[in-house]
Amino acid sequence: MINTALRFLFILFSFCSFAIIAQEQVTDPNNAIKIARELASVKQYDSASNYFQKTIQLSIEIEDNWNKTLAQAELGRNWIYQRDYEKAKEISEAVLENRGAAIRAKIIAHQNLGRLYARNPQDYDKEKYHNHKALKIASEEIPRRFSAKRKNDSLKTSNVIRGLQVLSYMHRDLRSYDSAQYYMDRIIDLSEEKQPANIYQLAYNQLDQLWLYVNQNRFSDTKIEIDRTQPLIDNLSLNTQGEFNLAANYYNLLDVYYSRTRNTDSSFAARVKQEQIISASPRIDSTQLAQLQTNMGIGYYTTGDINKAFEYEKKALKLKERVLPVDDLGFAASYKMLGIYRIDQAFAGEEATEYFREALRINLKHLGRLNPTTADAMYNLSYGLNTAGKFAESLEVEREVLDIFAEIGVGDYVKGSVLAGIATNLASLDSLQEAIFAYNELVKFSNMSKIDMSIYKVKAESGLGFCYLKMDEYDKALKHFKVAERLLVQMSGPGNSGLAAIYNGISKGLNEQNRLDEALVMIKKAIEVNSYDKLLFSIDPIPLDLLAKKQIQFVDSYVIYTQILKHRTEIEENPDFEEFWKVFNNSIEVIESSISEQTNSADVISLLSANKTLYSAGIDIQWLMDSVNIESQESLKMWQLSEKSKAINQKLKDRKRQATSPLSTDIKIQEGLTAISDQIAQYKSLAINGNDHDSVSAGLFKALQAKKEYKEKIKSDFPRDYLLKYLTDDISFNDVKVFLGPNQVILDYFIAGENLYAFVINEHGIDSFKFDWSTSLKANVSSFKKHLVNDSLNLFYQASRDIYQEIFKPLESAITGKNVIIVPDKTLWNVNFDLLLTNSGKEMPKPNDFLISKYAFSYNYSSDLLVKNVKKEESKSQVLGFSYADDNITELQVSNLRDKAKANLPGTALEVRNLAESLLGTFYFGKQASEEVFKKKASAFSVLHLALHGEVNDKDPDNSKLFFGGNGDLSDEDNTLHSFELYDMNLNAELAVLSACNTGAGKITDGEGIMSLGKAFQYAGVNSVLLSQWEVSDAVAPEIIEAFYKYLKEGQTKAEALRSAKLDFLKTSNNITSNPYYWGSFFILGSTESIDFKTSDQKWFWLLGVSLILVILIFRKRKIIRTTS
């Protein structure tokens, strides 16, 4: 991952562009050039170019060479701002070839050419020539011209001042500050002597003086001049655009001054004042205002308020959309900044990457491939891809950037950042040998450079350390970490927070080498350099996350600290557990506070790993405490730790969904919570910078309390949202005891490093078991489903027997009920426990050999989620059924699988038709079975049956989908129901049956569990879901599903009904369909409670009742008629 410090380089190289407005009708070149300059002053460069060209045209008509060449030179400068470099070069050279050109025109033309040649380091001599030529002309010609006798003394003074300003500016641009100051002093003296009543000119001169001081970091002088200038600015009439520009520029200077002197409050106040002035100016639609909004966004960004930064850049983008032509370069600048801001927000890497792509597209269109700005945009894209976890694509883009740099030439510092990015991507791809080579090349390049490349040496050495750490070569790792530490301390002192990652690496290496005392010293240093001073916050107790400078490294430090103490505790004869649990609890606090922070994809991956490592250590130590009889009830505590780890895991996973699809919580509460979080970030920044200590501490305390109140409001008013977003109280045994029936057992697994723990929970208590999570067991679990799907039956049967013997049989004596709720962990979601084999021989298994013959299994993500499901109101209607196929049954084939997208599936029609004949409900077939109908009606039914095509996206589970059969021509829906759409629905169902292909299989290899349609239905409000682990046969599914509903109607639980249906199928299966592949795919996720069905047999009682009522009404009516007659 690219170092966070590099993000600020992006800001430094931001580019802004230009505006266009309708031309005003003018016929005088003097008026035209005046309008052009006014437009240029507010950065409306497109419109300014139009008026400069108008000036040229009018000047030619009246043979006014003076205005013509001035307009040409200033037009060239304008084109430079617009990145139209060839045209700028051509027109500037034309001015210099014109012997009668105005002196100012020649000066500007040389300055233009100096700027153009400055773009290429190889043209340094040409740049130097033109800049000094411009200065020479100004020094020789301007004093002579302006010293001539004039009748109008006021005009003479103004011209002299203008000439001296040119000289001052030119010396300032060349950083000849003494010479610039000399001319500035002459200007101020002359202005005060000759034009004391000209407030505008006096203020203008003072502002130039201030910029000179600020550019030289002469802050004490700056403060004195600010006090002198403020009354002049206050007395401006603010009638003309020039006065508005001057006042805005003054507050811009204040912003810069206060930023550099770290006075955050005053800096923000100046920026707000500047925005107010520009917004009130005659030309409000200008890129000057857009630039200010961009600057304000950057200001908020530097204080940690990313939401506000993003908001201001969005304002700038909207303004540009009003005043800039399509695909103007100004848009590229905004897209770049939006990308930078979004990349720091929760799971917005994809969106950030799209902003960077758009910026690159516009730059390529205007500037071409071989251009520094294009290369910068390409580098931003590589950074976005890296943060989004797309390391291979990021690597490809960075190599393209390197090729561009080789062709156009670039500074060593910029090239170093790309070399570092390439090495980092290789390390992220675990191409460790290539990464080591790349890091070593970066070291060589840095050593050969003539400039200070220490930061890249640090990156290279620390990168080498982490590579060798991954390769278990600890001596080499420690050697490189030590070099990185020495270099960084030399660069920025011993308190730099960047040392935290290096100290973390050193601590890991020392821990692996059993050098525990040294490891503890280093990890404490890691926490110290990455923590703000507690004295900055007058709050007791201080939330640990407030002290963190870099949150992810802070979490890593505490987790490593816990690992070291665990290691020490395990090897000591008389272990002292107190220090371990103290640090463990601190680590929990830090991780839990990170759940709701602005975390990106890469950060969440780090937090997931930290969470698993931390709780694994806790459970290992709890087991150790049990073995030395320190306390009782250790099984309960271990199980609670495993449940908390799984809860944190799910909340971290949910961060992406919450970022892209907000919860249903009242919008005012959401906005209030966001505003409070922004306040906390700002108060923290103010406290760190030492601003107004008492009031800041009070404000911070108040904001923290308000955040707790908002959280409680969500808990009481939006309990479902609360469960999705926040951690709940630890689950207790009593919670489970109330939930479990007399015949139910929970079997909860937790993988902790090289150990596998199992917790058997029934109404009487909890038993814990510890297994070796061996290489062979991992292989059997990972290949369990693969062997079956690939028809490698002998391998599958052997894996099935081994898994049973290793992780189920040893605890079977503790299983007291027949209904077993499995809570898997990580790759154990691969295992369908129905299919575990109890026979030890190699003969072909019989139905009774499968574990399904003894138990009814169901599954859940955690015991906590199972017990704390939000209660729902009883639905008024029963079954809502959808069939992908039309209601015309054709021949069914066992080989016809429901993974063949858009193919006709006659079995789905049979499946739903069977339901329609036996259950009360509403059923749709083929084109009538549309997504639109489902979304309109689903919330009113207690059972949802979807016999459809299904498709699981393993890389992005939220993009998994179900295909409806409806005709979408007359609807806004596309008949493709994605997982992320379900999160926005409020269902009220007891059961959803997804008898499509592979609807339950999600991304299981990285521990995500079944992150697909099943989970989405549960979050939408469905108590339990019937899913399939792999492709379902279109001929087999209707038979099993029909039997499943039959046993549900008889009162069996969902798990029991599914078991009975599978056993019935096995009784009548043949040599082909007895293969577990055909009958073993379905499983129940969630609650197993039975359902009270109203069967279709009851329809006749309803019809009979209605008929009887009608007969009675008719009889009474006839009787009344007779009486009347």
Listed range (185-199, 345-359, 700-714, 1014-1028) with the worst mean pLDDT = 700-714
With tokens 């800039």, the residue in question is: 324
User: Which pLDDT band, with edges at 50, 70 and 90, does 335 fall under?
Assistant: very high
Q: Could you give the percent of the chain with pLDDT greater than 90? A: 33
To the nearest 10 degrees (0 to 180), the angle between helices 551-571 and 516-529 is: 160
To the nearest 10 degrees (0 to 180), the angle between helices 578-594 and 601-627 is: 150
* For range 561-581, the mean pLDDT: 91
Q: 1028 pLDDT exceeds 50?
A: yes
The distance of Cα 391 from the centroid of its chain, to the nearest Å, equals 16
The reported pLDDT for the residue numbered 235 is 86
- Give the pLDDT confidence of 161-198 residue by residue, as tens digits: 766 776 677 677 667 777 778 777 777 777 777 777 78
Listed range (142-156, 550-564, 644-658) with the worst mean pLDDT = 142-156
DSSP secondary structure of 321-357: HHHS-TT-HHHHHHHHHHHHHHHTSTT-HHHHHHHHH
The reported pLDDT for the residue numbered 1020 is 84
* For range 33-55, the mean pLDDT: 83
The reported pLDDT for the residue numbered 229 is 86
Bridge partners of 769? 758
Among the listed residues 800, 806, 818, the one whose alpha carbon sits nearest the alpha carbon of residue 758: 806
Q: Is 322 exposed, middle or buried (0-12, 13-18, 19+ CB in 10 A)?
A: exposed
Which residue would you say has higher pLDDT here, 1032 or 774?
A: 774
Query: What are the distances in angstroms from CA 405 to CA 126, 358, 374, 415?
Result: 21, 21, 11, 7
Helix (H/G/I), strand (E/B), else coil: 548: strand
Contacts of residue 424, defined as CB under 8 A and 6 or more positions apart, other chains included, come to 1, 2, 386, 435, 459, 463
**Long-range contacts, stretch 337-340, CB < 8 angstroms, 24+ apart:** 337/11, 337/14, 337/294, 337/297, 337/298, 337/313, 338/310, 338/313, 338/314, 339/380, 339/384, 340/7, 340/10, 340/11, 340/301, 340/380
* For range 19-31, the mean pLDDT: 58
The reported pLDDT for the residue numbered 13 is 33
User: Which pLDDT band, with edges at 50, 70 and 90, does 670 fall under?
Assistant: low
The reported pLDDT for the residue numbered 152 is 44
Which residue would you say has higher pLDDT here, 12 or 677?
A: 677
Listed range (219-228, 312-321, 826-835, 963-972) with the worst mean pLDDT = 963-972
* For range 51-61, the mean pLDDT: 91
- Give the pLDDT confidence of 711-721 residue by residue, as tens digits: 777 777 776 66
- Give the pLDDT confidence of 253-286 residue by residue, as tens digits: 888 888 888 787 788 788 788 878 877 877 665 6
- Give the pLDDT confidence of 799-858 residue by residue, as tens digits: 999 999 999 999 999 998 899 999 999 889 989 999 999 987 777 888 899 999 999 999
Task: Please state, rounded to an integer, the average pLDDT across all residues of the chain.
Answer: 81
* For range 918-941, the mean pLDDT: 90
Query: What are the distances in angstroms from CA 1018 to CA 657, 759, 816, 829, 991?
Result: 14, 24, 28, 17, 9
Q: 442 pLDDT exceeds 80?
A: yes
* For range 915-942, the mean pLDDT: 89
- Give the pLDDT confidence of 591-618 residue by residue, as tens digits: 888 776 655 666 777 788 888 999 999 9
The reported pLDDT for the residue numbered 104 is 84
DSSP 8-state code for residue 531:
B
User: Which pLDDT band, with edges at 50, 70 and 90, does 144 fall under?
Assistant: low
Which residue would you say has higher pLDDT here, 1007 or 647?
A: 647
User: Which pLDDT band, with edges at 50, 70 and 90, does 434 fall under?
Assistant: very high
User: Which pLDDT band, with edges at 50, 70 and 90, does 304 fall under?
Assistant: low
Q: 513 pLDDT exceeds 50?
A: yes
Q: 511 pLDDT exceeds 90?
A: yes
- Give the pLDDT confidence of 96-106 residue by residue, as tens digits: 999 889 888 98
Query: What are the distances in angstroms from CA 889 to CA 230, 519, 904, 962, 1032?
Result: 87, 71, 11, 22, 18
The reported pLDDT for the residue numbered 156 is 55
**Long-range contacts, stretch 201-207, CB < 8 angstroms, 24+ apart:** 201/161, 202/232, 203/229, 203/232, 203/233, 203/236, 203/246, 203/250, 204/246, 205/161, 206/232, 207/246, 207/249, 207/250, 207/253
- Domain-wise residue ranges, the chain: 501-619, 662-718, 733-864, 869-1092, 1095-1125
Measured CA to CA, the distance from residue 315 to residue 334 in angstroms comes to 10
The reported pLDDT for the residue numbered 299 is 72
Measured CA to CA, the distance from residue 589 to residue 724 in angstroms comes to 19
**Maximum average pLDDT range among 671-685, 742-756, 1100-1114:** 742-756
The reported pLDDT for the residue numbered 136 is 76
* For range 42-50, the mean pLDDT: 78
Listed range (333-337, 519-523, 916-920, 964-968) with the worst mean pLDDT = 964-968
The reported pLDDT for the residue numbered 351 is 84
CB 978 within 8 A of CB 959: yes
Domain 869-1092 fold is Rossmann fold (3.40.50)
Strands 989-994 and 941-947: parallel
User: Which pLDDT band, with edges at 50, 70 and 90, does 634 fall under?
Assistant: confident
Sheet of strand 819-823: strand arrangement:
765-772, 755-762, 744-752, 819-823, 856-859, 1082-1086, 1022-1028, 989-994, 941-947, 877-883, 921-925
CB 603 within 8 A of CB 552: yes
For 14, the token pair is 């931001």
Read off the pTM: 0.70
The reported pLDDT for the residue numbered 556 is 93
- Give the pLDDT confidence of 57-75 residue by residue, as tens digits: 999 988 899 889 999 999 9
